[in-house]
């Protein structure tokens, strides 16, 4: 009986894999992030991220985030909104219409040192409202997906200047995302990047992301190799400079 069950289980997996399609893709993401420090514990992050395929050169996604964060000891809590426009998921097919999404977000992160390395665990909840009809806006007609995200990240100092300030960081992370409907597995992201701290106000980041993602509501998958470039800009109000 156990052998019959095992054979049936393996056959089911084999059929599922055989029916699915994996799309290997190469993209580049260019991001600008602005962090306005309002008080020593309260800051506001806004960013815009443009995502395109290399070949053919087709727009994949334009996404914008706006979140406020509050620091409490080793914890950081955040909430805000994301606006997204998906153009093409398969660049060879092009696109005739972008799909809009409005996404309220809440998150909590806990960071702690292990010798010189900073370890961070983050939980994020995405409330995704996605445009359902081309004839109506996302505000009029949308379907809802609850997405759970967990990220584990390590920040490793590579270079410290004479003042004791780290000027080059290596960042390594892995993030898993799960849906509440259709396909439970959404995607897994592996990320490696280097941050170059130019001065107090400006940081440049370059990195590589590997994304394995299931196409929502199907048995197909995307295997994505992403090169990412980021400009991170820090600003301070006078209230943020108080001890």
Q: Is residue 62 part of a domain?
A: yes
Q: Is residue 68 part of a domain?
A: yes
DSSP state letters, 90-135: SGGG--SSPEEEEEEEEEEEEEEEETTEEEEEEEEEEEEEEE--TT
Q: Is residue 6 part of a domain?
A: no
DSSP assigned state of 238:
G
Q: Is residue 197 part of a domain?
A: yes
Query: What is the pTM for the complete model shown?
Result: 0.88
The model's pLDDT over 210-232, given as tens digits with 9 standing for 90+, comes to 999 999 989 999 999 999 999 99
Q: Is residue 228 part of a domain?
A: yes
What does the alpha-carbon distance between residue 237 and residue 36 come to, in Å, rounded to a whole number? Answer: 7
Q: Is residue 9 part of a domain?
A: no
Q: Which residue range(s) make up the domain with 213?
A: 24-241
pLDDT-derived band of residue 31, with 50, 70 and 90 as boundaries? Answer: very high
> How do beta strands 22-39 and 221-236 pair?
parallel
**Three-class SS state of 5:** helix
Domain count along the chain: 1
CATH number at residue 182: 2.40.160
The model's pLDDT over 36-56, given as tens digits with 9 standing for 90+, comes to 999 999 999 999 999 999 999
């Amino acid at each position: 009986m156990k052998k019959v069950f095992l054979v049936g289980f393996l056959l089911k997996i084999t059929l599922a894999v055989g029916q699915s399609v994996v799309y290997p893709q190469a993209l580049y993401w260019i991001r600008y992030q602005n962090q306005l420090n309002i008080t020593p514990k309260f800051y506001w992050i806004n960013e815009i991220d443009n995502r395109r395929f290399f070949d053919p050169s087709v727009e994949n996604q334009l996404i914008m985030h706006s979140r406020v964060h509050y620091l409490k000891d080793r914890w950081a809590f955040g909430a805000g909104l994301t606006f997204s426009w998906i153009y093409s998921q398969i660049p060879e097919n092009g696109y005739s219409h972008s799909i809009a999404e409005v996404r309220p977000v809440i998150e909590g992160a806990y960071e702690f040192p292990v010798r010189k390395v900073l370890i961070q665990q983050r939980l994020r909840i995405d409330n995704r409202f996605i445009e359902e009809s081309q004839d109506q806006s996302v505000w009029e007609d949308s379907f809802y997906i609850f997405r759970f995200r967990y990220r584990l990240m390590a920040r490793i100092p590579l270079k410290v200047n004479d003042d004791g300030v780290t000027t080059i960081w290596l960042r390594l992370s892995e993030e898993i995302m799960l849906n509440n409907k259709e396909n439970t597995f959404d995607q897994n992201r592996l990320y490696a990047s280097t941050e170059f701290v130019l001065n107090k106000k400006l940081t440049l980041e370059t990195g590589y992301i590997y994304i394995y993602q299931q196409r929502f509501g199907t048995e197909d998958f995307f295997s994505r190799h992403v090169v990412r470039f980021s400009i991170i800009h820090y600003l301070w109000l006078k209230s943020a400079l108080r001890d």
